[in-house]
Amino acid sequence: MHHVQTSVYRVTGDTDEVRQRAQADLLPVFQQQEGFIEYDVTPAETWVTSTSTWQSRELAEAAGRQSAIWVRENFSALAVQLEEQSVAPAAAIGVPAVL
The domain tally of the chain equals 1
Residue 40 lies in a domain: yes
CA distance 69 to 60: 14
Residue 99 lies in a domain: no
Determine the pLDDT at residue 94: 54
Q: Is the pLDDT of residue 95 over 60?
A: no
The tens digit of pLDDT for each residue in 34-65 reads 999 999 999 999 999 999 999 999 999 999 99
CA distance 84 to 47: 11
Residue 84 lies in a domain: yes
Residue 56 lies in a domain: yes
How would you write 17-82 as a 3-class SS string? HHHHHHHHHHHHHHHCCCCEEEEEEEECCCEEEEEEEECCHHHHHHHHHHHHHHHHHHCCCCCEEE
Residue 86 lies in a domain: yes
CATH of the domain at 87: 3.30.70.100
Domain of residue 56, residue span: 3-92
Determine the pLDDT at residue 36: 96
